[in-house]
A and B are shown apart, each in its own frame.
Chain A
Amino acid sequence: MIKIKNLSVSLGGFNLHNINLDIEENSFFVLMGPTGAGKTVLLEAIAGLTPVKSGSIFIGNRDVTKLPPEKHGVSIMYQDNSLFPHLNVMENIRYGLRYHKIDKSESDKKIDGLIEQLGLSSLLTRLPLNLSGGELQRVSLARALVVDPKIVLLDEPLSALDPNFRYELRQMLKKIHKSTNVTFVMVTHDFGEAISLAEKAAIMDGGRIIQTGTIDEIFQKPCCNFAADFVGMRNIFQVEFHGTTAKTGKLQINMGKKIDDTSGHIAIRPEDIVLSREKLQSSMRNSFRGKVLSIIDLGFFYEIDIDVNGTLFRSMIAKGSLFEMKIKENSDVFISFKASAIHNF
């Protein structure tokens, strides 16, 4: 769907160097990278909003490198809502329609569908000023989708939202992506978003793409420090949810709250897993006995792999604590973690 060949962009402080990227039709693709990596610039280049120095961009089979943005057939949605402040919700949603030859009855049907799907029916006459963050982003999404784009570019659409709204909008994105033929390209900092939404991803740093692949490949074999940091949550498990517990292998993990999904992933950062020799008397809801498999020296910290009934956990521990607790390979330990340290997606 999108083919980028040797793309270079030079924009004052921001540069892209020799970007090559292939994004399949109808896929959900994620761009990850630190601030200043050039993710937004790349999105804007795809949308035709940034002059290209060299290289080419193909959308479908069309070379769009030199076309103005309105000829790209690409909608863009920014992190800070970019609704037109002088237009109400309905006027915002309909904004792009007059530039597209879409049959009136068809577009009306489409708008009704989106309003329903995104829960906007009570907001239509309101001005953006009077909307919450989540509502703003939902309207932005509707406005972007109404014009039947081939591609929707999302620049950290969820990062400015409260956690509750974030989860809600993420589910909506997932649903909408499944129900349409639109290719989604999203920039994100959040690993949970990446793993729950996308099939493939690219990691950017310093204006270059440093790794591309399926999400699994990137999480299993991060190519470099940044990628490893980014996917720092090592303890990722596929689970089945039953009420407030998550089941993986032989383990029952207490989530501390009811989960509505039936299956999904959970992850726990290694530094959130506490090691002890005796069972801890604490408020932590999850505590399991396991066996130390390996201890890796990381300078200030040790990385410790623990086998708990067939499930592998990784924990981080300070050097001092390791000696104090006399943890060695094959010794028995308890691992404990709070329900609030579990991320589910």
Chain B
Amino acid sequence: MAPSSTSSEGASDEWLPPSRRPELADVVPVTQDDGPHPVVAIAYRDEFREVMDYFRALYFAGERSVRALHLTAEVIDLNPGNYTVWHFRRLVLEALDADLREEMDFVDRIAECNPKNYQIWHHKRWLAEKLGPDIANKEHEFTRKILSMDAKNYHAWSHRQWVLQALGGWETELQYCNQLLEEDVFNNSAWNQRYLVITSSPLLGGLAAMRDSEVDYTVGAILANPQNESPWRYLKGLYKGENNLLMADERISDVCLKVLKHDSTCVFALSLLLDLLQIGLQPSDELKGTIEAIKNSDPEADEAVDADLATAICSILQRCDPLRINYWSWYRTTISSQT
């Protein structure tokens, strides 16, 4: 497909090589110097080679002009990863005092076809910084579109988080997280974003103010899918640096107990219980009984009956989390050395 040219007004116009354009008649193209013996040479197509030769001429001359702007658009179409061209384009945009909203539309069209191109996202940030908070919602719409096609696109998430913190648009962000998690409760990126919103939104009052309702939300997600690691990690995150609160909240040990009654091999519940006990949780009789029953269900168990609860949980974890058997074995030795 021939590259499109932003200098062409008619959509039906055929692509015209730079050498045949009147507005570039005075430009002497500069060929690429590959040296006498190029290795792994790239077999450029004629149009690629010619557009680059004309770009090179304007670039060497440092020409900040409308025709340079148009030519950089063509080069970017051909090779969006060429960061030298993007850099030069920014110089031209500044020199021309160009309409940066139009530029954002231009770059968004390219970004939709190249959603993981570093240079494009870098250019978008540069533009957004200049355009200011007025552009925040439009940027959120854009990342929303990209994330609807690829829920994990790191560039889109990174841009979204930067726009929130630098330009705003927090008003609807928690609702956006709710929507994403309703669509896919396993979307760890959405859980990560939710954490950013809860902790950083200037509209919500911070983690302490939101913790109670967030715990309820998270416990619900855990009970719906106990094998989903994301809400377990999110739950611990809600108490980051507040171990006493984590231990004191009965909902935490309760959800572990509920899960283990249905699935005694749930590693997340077991390891969270272990954390709680290490913090100083006084286990209820019901909890003790549940752990004892799980431990005794292993016919190969050779543990003394009077082993403490944390040690018993470590033994269970060694059995049902074999990937980390060495870690749990080590962990158990640290418990033994404490008593």
Q: Do A and B bind each other?
A: no
User: B residues bordering A, Cβ < 8 Å?
Assistant: none
User: A residues bordering B, Cβ < 8 Å?
Assistant: none
